[in-house]
């Protein structure tokens, strides 16, 4: 259910409605919009007894949301969600495109800084690097953990790049939340509901990568898990699905970009590195992603891909990242977007 | 096997090599390139006895082609294949983008002309319209057949548009070859090898649409079937594959565009209408296709899609086609392409 | 639409109803059942004007068939279709299981007879062998054609086995219809509607193999194509679908067996040879097929699989066919089936 | 790497080799076989320096395991793994078939006992019931948690059934390990590596359900994660994969049964309830699973499926479970298996 407040409802009226909802044993999710605030109502108890919500002061109407996802749906919030990062010109969603680049794994301080320098120089606003790696084999390199997080925190200080990194479980989620700017939930954990709920309790942006065989509805339901806990800064990311096709490692399903945008207000990025698994197809698919209307890209970059501990074959060379940025910049206006380069922060970046 | 001729080999030398090959009981496929001619050798007999081919006059070298597809491979012909249409500025492959637009089915002379006028006005160079329809149900409209072909021949005369239409079997193939400019082989017939061979005996362009579960190699092998019969004007077309995803009718696999271009010299188009099955996603995917590097688009357009006898829900409105053309034009230079509008023929080009 | 005749309607009454239907410009399909005859009505014209069918003599009721497939549906014919082969104890559908075995391709008279002897000795009732082969590569062995059909006709005479072989196009279909007992339509041609219609004009059994990405409805619609032309002896065959899984060549979808049986009266076989592509999994999947309720099996057998011109790796050794037969025989009673061994014909049954 | 000990190596020799391996900074996994013990060696450091292992007393040979999975492979352990449950005649793997039955979710003590009584009466040896439910929607019933575990512990006491239930995260895993007999890792968590490692630290059987798009290798690598932590009692379970097919909720891939058995010594069960999602196909697929060679079944049963809080449409009625048991019993000898009914324990079952 959704309570739509009148255009000029006061903060006190909104609070009063929220309090009323909580007293009914339900959960209230105030979602401010440009024109007016909507208050999503969630709860486990099936269709809620709505009490006399409609009669409360400031309430315009009470409507049922028929989709399985509520808070993630455009029914609930009409305007696109834009996630801003204080002290920077970086944002995800809205007019400006977001570019997230970096190595699959942080392998050493030297490697991370060498690549971060190239990423910053390219104009990308975000640095990604794996600290905790979900590897198919228990015997493969599992990531440098906390040490990698500290290196990335130094990269933020040095280059002004915002840090995106994956959390695998409760322990790593708490660490990522402490040290990074954006929590990434990987494709294999897209339906790790326990982890999603934990991410929902944080108050910082969460990127959810689409599972290898996730439908649109399942993808949005995973966002809903995070949002239902009160964290509304959710970003979706297409990264290829599993099919019979063998010319790429996964099949990048770009049609999910307009499909998400039609039914949800959440931003959606594309990861053409995992989406193809092959360096020589990343630039083509990056262009296609932007042209399809994506809100940005996540790409893997490595200065020495042949020596990378993971995902070398799909990592761009730094000069290819430059090309990617200029092609993105060229396509942007055609889809009513712009590409604002990340800038070095003058003041401290994270309190 | 492949015979690479010297740069300045004479036509007589080329002919002599071809004759020699045929005398060995094999088939010779001379493929002229910008620098020099290559002669593909095919035959059912496994690895051919190459005789003393290397010693013939004008021969530079004889090499084995290790891929399953020979004539379709870049090993055999390095330059992109460009298919030109005499008397027009339309072409498929190479720098200029090809746009093929029209209704799913020809339903009447009025409908066809009304749509063709819009297609011509948009600047597209080709008109598509179904005369013979491969329908899942034997009880569904099966197309107007020969009558539709005649209507489209009149459209060519009236608007200067080149005609693309599907052939389903030997009978319709002969009719399409007689009346249209490009034979289309549909996705369901991609491995109808008998039909492919028959198309290979014609001397006119053939579009092969990717089967719903075809791998890259199978796709190219279908092209090889046509080429092995001596028809080298083959155009590939991605139109979505079948997966678990349910937000589109098929899953458009754009990564096959760079994948084809890497291993083959044949042009590849994209059909975002069948590739999504939903009108509201066609423009996004059309932009993405061009940005991915496709050689052109096939799209369905209808002036009254709600009344279409087939595929109404995925047909663009004429004004959307205008948007598609202008977006294509804007993206083209970013991928080193250009969009030359079709022009009305001054003289008849096909008797 | 479906006309259900009264239990004791006379042949004249049935004929009169059919005549009436044809006069309406529709097609009548009388389908005799154990209790009473149903008459399916088909036609291209959308929902037919039913005239005053209900008032004709002998008519019990007129009902709409809501499914896309009509003649193939259980709504139209409640009892299982059983296809009998005169002069033999072989049948497909009903209580007795049908076993079809033989080499992928007929390679020579010696090879075919050597294998046929083993097939006959095993108790299988049908011999399969490819005369016309749908090969992915134009350069691969394409089958011995008519010569293979003649060899198989001699095998029928010698061993009393009924002959099943694939038709690829109109020409081969006419030949197969002339020389064999059952026409097989391969997976790649499942939606070659032109070929299906041609098969529908014959009056002999047709096996339709499921396409690599065919849904249940599409599968039944292909049967409907054949039946709509008046040939009601259609047999379905599951042979694996294409998925991401790589431990078998295709993924055998046995759940389609009960799914077909629930909505259709047509028999359904399983081909575990193509369904797995690996000899060491064929016996397991053959057992599973019978246990799932299949009406029989199609399996590839070769006396020298390492030397087979096609599909050697999935062909059983003759002694494995013996095992398959005895395991089938053991499982049969658990699913209310029996396995009657094929017997040598005492007189020729087909001129 | 794998150290194969001599047939008569003493426990002291085995221990000495293990100590030596651990001193190299690696991990030793002694795996006793019928003839001799093998010691698997794992570690993160790529190919280990083997020191002079071959010269240690009692060592027969040191071999490299070329597959990505080591401890799960037949190379490492030739004999089938059999998991026994003390104080009962229940086991998983080996000759005796294991039947695990029960409701999707524990909904109340009454419901659980009502169903458990039917399960025990049927002869099944294991009771399954969800305490922690991985639901696509955060608003759906999430399970009764610890209370459900306590109810199931009482069911074990009352009926002698061994308890199988799913763990979702660290907290629930510890609870399940405390209260149940077998930890189940669900399909959505098959690559929740953190959870797998935690399960690997327990010393009790773990069932891993195949992910919706997991390959054979990925499936076995998940088992390897558990085993690499020292827990060798791993049981695999096929439960359907995600494909385009829409006649069942998932596509049950039974060919993975012989595929697993060929390369791994671990038992593999089949879950035809999730594998089809439709009650009317469960019995067919249960028979097919046993005929394919599965080591047992997991099925959902509910006495009032129409009122089930989850998965009602795929739950068997109790009388169908009786049929399933008798059909399983009939097929068992054909695949060299037997079905020993669970019996009520006379003494306490779990200390």
Q: What are phi and psi of A4, to 5 degrees?
A: -95, 120
Q: How confident is the model at residue A46 (pLDDT cuts 50, 70, 90)?
A: low
- pLDDT above 80 (res D207): yes
Could you tell me if D247 lies within 8 Å of chain B, comparing CB atoms?
no
Query: SS3 for A248?
Result: coil
Q: How far is A100 from chain C (nearest CA, A)?
A: 29
Q: How confident is the model at residue A51 (pLDDT cuts 50, 70, 90)?
A: confident
Which residue did the predictor score with more confidence, A38 or D258? D258
Could you tell me if D194 lies within 8 Å of chain A, comparing CB atoms?
yes
Q: Which of C138, C193, C241 sits opposite B224 (nearest CB)?
A: C138
CA distances from B334 to A122, A329, B322, B339, B340 (A): 18, 10, 20, 12, 15
Distance CA D299, CA B204 (A): 59
Strands C59-63 and C2-5, by their bridges, are antiparallel
Give chain B's end-to-end CA distance (angstroms, integer).
Answer: 38
Count of CB contacts below 8 A, A vs D? 87
Closest of B128, B149, B169 to residue B321, by C-alpha: B128
**Token pair listed for C45:** 């014209």
Per-residue pLDDT tens digits for D29-49: 998 887 889 999 987 565 556
Are residues C44 and B142, on separate chains, in Cβ contact within 8 Å? yes
- pLDDT above 90 (res B328): yes
| pTM given for the model | 0.94
Least confident of A163-167, C94-98, C311-315: C311-315
Could you tell me if A138 lies within 8 Å of chain D, comparing CB atoms?
yes
User: What is the sign of the dihedral through the CA atoms of B254, B255, B256 and B259?
Assistant: positive
CA distances from B183 to A330, B130, B171 (A): 36, 11, 13
CA distances from D199 to D166, D195, D230, D257 (A): 11, 6, 10, 23
Residues of D in contact with C334 (CB under 8 A): 287, 327, 330-331
Q: How far is A211 from chain C (nearest CA, A)?
A: 15
- Give which of D43, D136, D208, D224 to mutate to test A binding, by max A Cβ within 10 Å: D136
Are residues D44 and A197, on separate chains, in Cβ contact within 8 Å? no
Count of CB contacts below 8 A, A vs C? 5
**Token pair listed for B50:** 């190459």
Output the CA torsion B304→B98→B280→A283 (10° steps). Answer: 180
Q: Which chains touch A (3 or more CB pairs under 8 A)?
A: B, C, D
pLDDT for the residue D67: 86
Query: SS3 for A108?
Result: coil
Distance CA C55, CA A206 (A): 69
Distance CA C25, CA C9 (A): 23
Residue in the block written with tokens 């049927």: D122
Give the residue from chain C lying closest to B135, CA to CA: C193
Residue in the block written with tokens 């439709």: D278
**Token pair listed for C47:** 């929902």
Residues of A in contact with C242 (CB under 8 A): 244
Q: Which of D140, D189, D213 sits opposite A192 (nearest CB)?
A: D189
Are residues B138 and C189, on separate chains, in Cβ contact within 8 Å? no
Q: How far is A90 from chain D (nearest CA, A)?
A: 31
pLDDT for the residue C311: 84
Closest of B137, B199, B200, B125 to residue B169, by C-alpha: B199
**Token pair listed for D328:** 């399983």
**Token pair listed for B82:** 């460009």
pLDDT for the residue A44: 60
Are residues A290 and B285, on separate chains, in Cβ contact within 8 Å? no
Residues of B in contact with C212 (CB under 8 A): 212-213
For D235-269, give the DSSP string.
EEEE--B--S--SSSSB--TTHHHHHHHHB-S-EE
Contacts of D333 (CB under 8 A, 6+ apart): none
CA distances from A308 to A279, D25, D152, D244 (A): 13, 24, 49, 36
Closest of A205, A214, A199, A329 to residue A267, by C-alpha: A205
pLDDT for the residue D84: 96
Could you tell me if D224 lies within 8 Å of chain A, comparing CB atoms?
yes
- Is the CB of residue D2 less than 8 Å from the CB of residue D70? yes
Count of CB contacts below 8 A, B vs D? 5
Residues of D in contact with B242 (CB under 8 A): 244
pLDDT for the residue D65: 83
Q: How far is C245 from chain A (nearest CA, A)?
A: 8
- Is the CB of residue A101 less than 8 Å from the CB of residue A155? no
Query: SS3 for A160?
Result: coil
pLDDT for the residue C246: 96
Q: Which chains touch B (3 or more CB pairs under 8 A)?
A: A, C, D
Q: Give bridge partners of residue D182 from the DSSP assignment.
A: D164
Q: How confident is the model at residue A25 (pLDDT cuts 50, 70, 90)?
A: confident
Q: Which of D244, D275, D281 sits opposite C259 (nearest CB)?
A: D281
Give the residue from chain A lying closest to C245, CA to CA: A244
Output the CA torsion B306→B311→B315→B317 (10° steps). Answer: -20
Output the CA torsion B224→B299→D243→B187 (10° steps). Answer: -30
- Is the CB of residue B297 less than 8 Å from the CB of residue B290? yes
Closest of C247, A184, C280 to residue D218, by C-alpha: C247
pLDDT for the residue D348: 45
Distance CA D281, CA D290 (A): 15
Angle, alpha carbons C154-C155-C159 (nearest 5°): 125
Give percent above pLDDT 90 in chain A. 80
Are residues B251 and A246, on separate chains, in Cβ contact within 8 Å? no
- Is the CB of residue C76 less than 8 Å from the CB of residue C40? yes
Residues of A in contact with C244 (CB under 8 A): 242-244
Distance CA C237, CA C268 (A): 5
Are residues C242 and A244, on separate chains, in Cβ contact within 8 Å? yes
Give percent above pLDDT 90 in chain B. 80
Count of CB contacts below 8 A, B vs C? 87
pLDDT for the residue A347: 43
Query: SS3 for C47?
Result: coil
Residues of C in contact with A242 (CB under 8 A): 244
Are residues B139 and C169, on separate chains, in Cβ contact within 8 Å? no
Closest of C197, C148, C143, C135 to residue B197, by C-alpha: C135
Residue in the block written with tokens 């009520």: D344
pLDDT for the residue A33: 83
- pLDDT above 60 (res B144): yes
Q: How confident is the model at residue D228 (pLDDT cuts 50, 70, 90)?
A: very high
- Is the CB of residue B180 less than 8 Å from the CB of residue B152? yes
Could you tell me if D218 lies within 8 Å of chain A, comparing CB atoms?
yes
Distance CA C162, CA C98 (A): 11
Q: How far is C313 from chain A (nearest CA, A)?
A: 21
Residues of C in contact with D258 (CB under 8 A): 280-281, 284-285
Which residue did the predictor score with more confidence, C282 or C344? C282
- pLDDT above 60 (res C48): no
CA atoms within 13 A on the CB side of A118: 23
CA D338, distance to chain mean position in Å, is: 19
- Give which of B244, B245, B249, B250 to mutate to test D binding, by max D Cβ within 10 Å: B244
- pLDDT above 80 (res A201): yes
Which residue did the predictor score with more confidence, C65 or A319? A319
Q: Which of D42, D142, D172 sits opposite A139 (nearest CB)?
A: D42
Q: What are phi and psi of C173, to 5 degrees?
A: -65, -45
Q: How confident is the model at residue B348 (pLDDT cuts 50, 70, 90)?
A: very low
**Token pair listed for C282:** 């064929």
**Token pair listed for B248:** 């589109």
Q: Give bridge partners of residue A110 from the DSSP assignment.
A: none
Q: Which of A134, A140, A193 sits opposite D168 (nearest CB)?
A: A193
CA distances from C140 to B43, B72, B211, C26 (A): 9, 16, 20, 45
pLDDT for the residue D46: 53
Could you tell me if D78 lies within 8 Å of chain C, comparing CB atoms?
no
User: What is the sign of the dihedral through the CA atoms of D249, D254, D255 and D258?
Assistant: positive
Q: Name all domains of chain D by residue range, CATH numbers in brackets.
A: 2-63 (3.30.70.1140), 83-335 (3.20.20.70)
Per-residue pLDDT tens digits for B2-49: 899 998 999 999 999 999 999 988 899 998 887 889 999 987 565 556
Quick one: D93 exposed, middle or buried, by C-beta within 10 A (0-12, 13-18, 19+)?
Answer: buried
Could you tell me if B68 lies within 8 Å of chain C, comparing CB atoms?
yes
Could you tell me if C244 lies within 8 Å of chain A, comparing CB atoms?
yes
Q: How confident is the model at residue A344 (pLDDT cuts 50, 70, 90)?
A: low
Give chain D's end-to-end CA distance (angstroms, integer).
Answer: 37
Q: How far is D56 from chain A (nearest CA, A)?
A: 25
pLDDT for the residue B64: 85
Q: How confident is the model at residue B345 (pLDDT cuts 50, 70, 90)?
A: very low
Beta strands in chain B (DSSP E): 2-5, 27-32, 37-42, 59-63, 83-84, 91-92, 98-102, 126-128, 162-166, 182-185, 206-209, 234-238, 268-270, 296-300
For residues D231-238, give the mean pLDDT.
98
- pLDDT above 50 (res C296): yes
User: What is the sign of the dihedral through the CA atoms of D240, D244, D245 and D246?
Assistant: positive
User: What is the sign of the dihedral through the CA atoms of B135, B137, B141 and B143?
Assistant: positive
Could you tell me if D243 lies within 8 Å of chain B, comparing CB atoms?
yes
Residues of C in contact with D275 (CB under 8 A): 255
């Amino acid at each position: 259910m959704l309570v739509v407040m009148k255009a000029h409802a006061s903060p006190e009226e909104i609070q009063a409605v929220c309090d009323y909802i909580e007293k009914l044993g339900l959960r209230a999710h105030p979602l401010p919009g440009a024109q007016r605030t909507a208050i999503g109502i969630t709860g486990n108890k099936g269709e809620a007894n709505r009490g006399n919500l409609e009669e409360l002061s400031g309430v315009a109407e009470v409507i049922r949301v028929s989709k399985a996802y509520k808070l993630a749906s455009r029914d609930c919030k009409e305007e696109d969600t834009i996630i801003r990062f204080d002290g920077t010109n970086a944002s995800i969603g809205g007019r400006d495109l977001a570019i997230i680049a970096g190595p699959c794994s942080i392998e050493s301080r030297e490697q991370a800084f060498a690549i971060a320098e190239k990423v910053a120089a390219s104009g990308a606003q975000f640095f990604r690097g794996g600290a905790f790696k979900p590897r198919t084999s228990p015997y493969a390199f599992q990531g440098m953990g906390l040490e990698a997080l500290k290196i990335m925190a130094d990269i933020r200080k040095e280059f002004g790049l915002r840090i995106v990194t994956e959390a695998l479980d409760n322990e790593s989620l708490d660490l990522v939340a402490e040290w990074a700017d954006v929590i990434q939930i990987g494709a294999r954990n897209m339906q790790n509901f326990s982890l999603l709920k934990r991410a929902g309790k944080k108050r910082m942006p969460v990127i959810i990568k689409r599972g290898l065989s996730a439908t649109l509805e399942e993808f949005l339901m995973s966002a809903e898990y995070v949002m239902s806990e009160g964290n509304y800064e959710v970003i979706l990311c297409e990264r290829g699905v599993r099919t019979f096709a063998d010319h790429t490692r996964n099949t990048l399903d770009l049609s999910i970009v307009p499909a998400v945008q039609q039914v949800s207000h959440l931003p959606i990025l594309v990861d053409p590195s995992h989406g193809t698994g092959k360096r020589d197809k990343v630039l083509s698919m990056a262009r296609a992603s932007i042209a399809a209307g994506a809100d940005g890209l996540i790409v893997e970059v490595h200065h020495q891909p042949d020596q990378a501990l993971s995902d070398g074959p799909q990592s761009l060379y730094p000069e290819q990242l430059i090309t990617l940025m200029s092609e993105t910049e060229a396509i942007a206006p055609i889809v009513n977007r712009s590409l604002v380069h990340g800038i070095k922060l003058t003041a401290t970046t994270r309190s």
